[in-house]
Amino acid sequence: MMNTSIIRSLFAAALLSAAPVFAAEAPKEDAAASAKLLAALEKTDRDAFVAEGEAAFKQLSQPQFAAAAAQLSPRLKGGYDLSFLGELKQRGYRVTLWKLSFKDGGDDALATLSMKDGKVGGFWVK
C-alpha cells in the first residue's frame, strides 16, 4: 500500500502539469494602443482615436465616434482600471481582451483590441 503523502504529491504534480498557462502581461504594443484609444474616447478626440488605425478603421465617422464617446467619456473621466485578460488569434489579427473597471462602481466592461502589423484593426467596448 502506498503512503498517502506520496499519493498526494503525485496528485498535486499531475494537477500542476495539467494546469493551463496564462500570460501575465499584455503585449506592450497592445497596452499602449489601448491606453491611447481610451484616452481619445475620454477626450472625445476622433482624430487621436483613429490615428494608429488601418485604413478601414480610419473610416469611422465623427457621428459614430461621438455616439460611443458620449456613453464612455463621462465614466472614463471618473477614473478606471484596465486589466489584461488574455489574447486570441483571429483572422490574422492579434486580439487582446481587457477588463475595464470604472471607479464609479458601475458595471465593468469588456474591451477587445485587434492589432495587425502595428495597426489597430478594431477596438470595441461592450
pLDDT of 90-113, one tens digit each?
999 999 999 999 999 999 999 999
pLDDT for position 24: 64
Is the Cβ–Cβ distance between 79 and 55 less than 8 Å?
no
User: Per the structure block, which three cell numbers stand in for 8?
Assistant: 498526494
pLDDT score of 69 more than 90: yes
Q: What is the phi/psi pair of residue 60, to 5°?
A: -55, 125
Phi, psi of 8 (to 5 degrees): -60, -40
| Length of the chain as a residue count | 126
| Domain covering 30-125: architecture | Roll (3.10)
pTM: 0.80
